[in-house]
Structure 1
Amino acid sequence: MDSERIRRAQAGDQQALAALLKAHYSFIVKYVWKMSGDEQLAYDVTQDTIVKAIQKIQQFKHKSTFSTWLIQMATHTYIDYKRKQKRSRRIDEKAIQEWKNPQAQNTRDELYDVQEALWVLDDHYRIPIVLKHYYGYDYQEISSMTNVKAGTLKSRVHYGLKKLRKELLSHER
């Protein structure tokens, strides 16, 4: 269904483009929200990502899924936002609910602690960890999204998880 909409959008069909972006809007908002812990920033980054997608729809080459292409744009847009403005992070009850994995048997406090610890991590650790362990992308896919070599990503995930564990242990004391 996406491939047909993409073809039509690339041919200039504005309704197909609007439907395609509408179908992926909440996915991008949730992804950025998990990255930032900031609801308003998630909406701002998503809006900028949508604008970029409209401007660059002709550049989509069908080498990955459309959602992967959008995540790549959203990741770069988020990093640009972070470079431009150093915001204080705030914990939001809605963000905790969004993070919750329905298969996990964690308590609300454990989810809060994990999300809070993730937000303490630098972006270069947090982004690959969330893409790998929450969204299930492999290192090659993450590499193409972030323009970072797969080996570097493996290292960042490894050391990021180590830092995450250390942060979680410090919360238990």
Structure 2
Amino acid sequence: MTAAVFGHDGPWTEEEYLALGETQQRVELFDGSLHLTPAPTPRHQRISRKLGNIFETAAEAVGLELLEADNVRLRPGRIPIPDLVVTDPVDLDELVIEANAVHLVCEIISPSNAATDKVLKMHYYAAAGIEWYLLVEQETGALRLYRRQGSHYAEHSTTTRGQTPTLTEPVQATIRPEDLVS
């Protein structure tokens, strides 16, 4: 189906992927294969906006950037589009953000894409050396924060309704799950 959508046969190179330009779908590149997902739900987008507002203020306070739905090159040929990233200052006109500039990546788990966020992307982000990975459950707003240990992530904290964690790295932020989903 991907080949039919984009008129392409065989594995995709990074150059071919980037030549697609902006698309209506979220299209990610994983080792020669395109991964398409439908547009996020309004709930997903609202959580992303609320979380982005919290992280933007916190990131700016320490000289970092908060970016939403941007191409992140984990290595040549592997470019996901995370929901949110906290990065070093980057060239805002570049097509991709290099993984070594990313301090934290956040994925809001979509029911149709949960395995990709919880397994595939988690593995890829850790292998690329991204220190922090935050997963957010859409239904409950539960937050699972992971910190890289070697080439994988270990759970750092889990926060559910009624709890108010304060993130201290890579930015300082207080996130209440109920604020994200109400």
- TM-score norm. by structure 2 comes to 0.28
> Hey, which of these two has a bigger chunk of strand by percent?
2
| Greater relative CO, 1 or 2 (CA 8 Å, sep 6+) | 1
> Hey, which of these two has a bigger chunk of helix by percent?
1
- TM-score norm. by structure 1 comes to 0.29
Greater gyration radius: 1
